[in-house]
Amino acid sequence: MVGGGGLIQIPALFLFLPENNATAVATVLGTNKLSSMCGTAIAAFQYSRRINLHWQTIIPAAITAFLLSFFGALVVARLQPAMAKKFVLILLVAVAAYTFFHHDLGDRDMPGLKSRTATLFAVSLGAAIGFYDGFFGPGTGSFLIFCFVSIFGCKFIVASAGAKFVNLATNLSAVALFAATNHILYKYALPMGLCNMAGAVAGTHCAILKGNRFVRRLFLLTVTALILRYGWEVLTQLFHH
């Protein structure tokens, strides 16, 4: 509904995979990406049948996200993604605060930007989010929803639907790279993918049934969970140093 699935799946993979697999970070990420892509694809399909989507924004964002996600995944092999945690934590706090104090944010579809301006913003958003998702990843869905709401004036339910298509593009790109480098454990990823699909069907039905305010509250809850997770990790690193 609102992103944040990596909060559950990635720790579970590190915890429950056989030890020789769980220590290979790229393999864990590749397995997670394939299973996540299954759920994201089903959610995107479900939303497209019931929500009036802003395709003029989604398509350019998805194309650039697909391209930049691949480059982000290449860069991750050379740099430490852990360096991004402090920056992501600051962004998440800003997103949560802005959403919380702007009570009417995402309550209704707003006029939004002019066509050409919206396309430029969509391309820029897709590039930034795509690179981030390929390089680091956690919170991508939540950042996308926030951007669709705050920049393009979408309702939360419409933003959640649009975010699924852009996230699907980044997942496709990353999965292609992980598959080419043999970093996917298909015997785990495929059953997980089926469960992801079932969860996505339930989640989209719930979001559509309960409406915009419910999605907004769940979005704030998910962002808060991300803040707590990365806040704890950043504090732990500081104390260790």
What's the pLDDT tens digit per position in 179-235? Answer: 998 989 999 999 999 999 999 999 999 988 888 888 888 888 888 888 888 788 778
Domain-located, residue 99: yes
1 domain residue, yes or no: no
**Domain residue limits at 173:** 6-240
Give the tens place of pLDDT for each residue, 101-148.
777 666 666 555 557 788 899 999 999 999 888 777 777 888 898 889
- DSSP state letters, the chain: --S-THHHHHHHHHHHS-HHHHT-HHHHHHHHHHHHHHHHHHHHHHHHHHS---HHHHHHHHHHHHHHHHHHHHHHTTS-GGGGHHHHHHHHHHHHHHHHH-TTTTSS----S-HHHHHHHHHHHHHHHHHHHHHT-TTHHHHHHHHHHHTT---HHHHHHHHHHHHHHHHHHHHHHHHHTT---HHHHHHHHHHHHHHHHHHHHHHHHH-HHHHHHHHHHHHHHHHHHHHHHHHHHHHH-
Residue 226 lies in a domain: yes
Count of domains observed in the chain:
1
